[in-house]
């Protein structure tokens, strides 16, 4: 018996807070199966690039109203010492890939004789066309994605914040 279930383009994934269920039976209240919805393979590959080349580690993956949100821990390098965390939301708008970076950073503020460190948020958004993120079916455009990551990270690295 063939069965297919189509999900919306930016449907929420299964996480601690929510999940899709398949309900069946006569009164539709007593029997249900939880459906495990994983992020798109494209999203997993993109976050894998961040891990491999920029050394960001995945802390948490959860559904977001616009797509999938990845909480990432930054590398412990000197140039990234000002970063506390990165929240990356990936979503699709037709064929366009939307990346919304939200960096939690520490900024040094000097006023008179005192110095203090304040926390701030730096938000960067990018939209990529299919040519910029894909080379074909199940193949990502690694060079273009890495170039985009370098551009975004150059905005939050240590030398630009202080």
Res 98: pLDDT: 95
- Cα 137 to Cα 34: distance, rounded to the nearest angstrom: 29
pLDDT along the chain (162 residues), means of 10: 81 82 75 84 93 93 89 90 92 93 86 79 94 89 94 78 42
Q: Which two tokens stand for residue 46?
A: 């993109």
Secondary-structure class of domain 41-161 per CATH:
alpha beta
3-state DSSP helix/strand/coil % of the chain, to nearest 5: 25, 45, 30
Residue from 46, 51, 75 nearest 157 by CA: 75
* DSSP annotation string for 48-66: HHHHHHH--EEEEEEEETT
Residue from 45, 42, 123 nearest 87 by CA: 123
What are the φ and ψ backbone dihedral angles of 83, each rounded to 5 degrees? -85, 130
- Cα 121 to Cα 127: distance, rounded to the nearest angstrom: 20
Res 116: pLDDT: 78
Burial class (CB in 10 A: 0-12, 13-18, 19+), 148: buried
């Amino acid at each position: 018996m063939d069965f297919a279930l189509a999900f919306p383009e930016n449907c929420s994934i299964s996480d601690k807070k929510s999940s899709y269920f398949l309900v069946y039976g006569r009164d539709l209240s007593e029997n249900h199966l939880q459906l495990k919805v994983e992020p798109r393979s494209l999203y997993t590959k993109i976050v894998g690039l961040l891990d491999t080349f920029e050394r960001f580690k995945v802390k948490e993956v959860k559904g977001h109203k616009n797509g999938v949100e990845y909480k990432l821990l930054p590398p412990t390098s000197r140039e990234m010492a000002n970063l506390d965390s990165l929240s990356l939301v990936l979503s699709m708008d037709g064929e366009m890939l939307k990346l919304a970076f939200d960096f939690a950073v520490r900024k040094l503020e000097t006023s008179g004789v005192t110095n203090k460190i304040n926390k701030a948020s730096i938000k960067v958004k990018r939209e990529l066309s299919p040519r910029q993120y894909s080379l074909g079916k199940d193949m990502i455009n690694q060079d273009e994605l890495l170039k985009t990551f370098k551009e975004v990270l150059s905005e939050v690295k240590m030398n630009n914040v202080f």
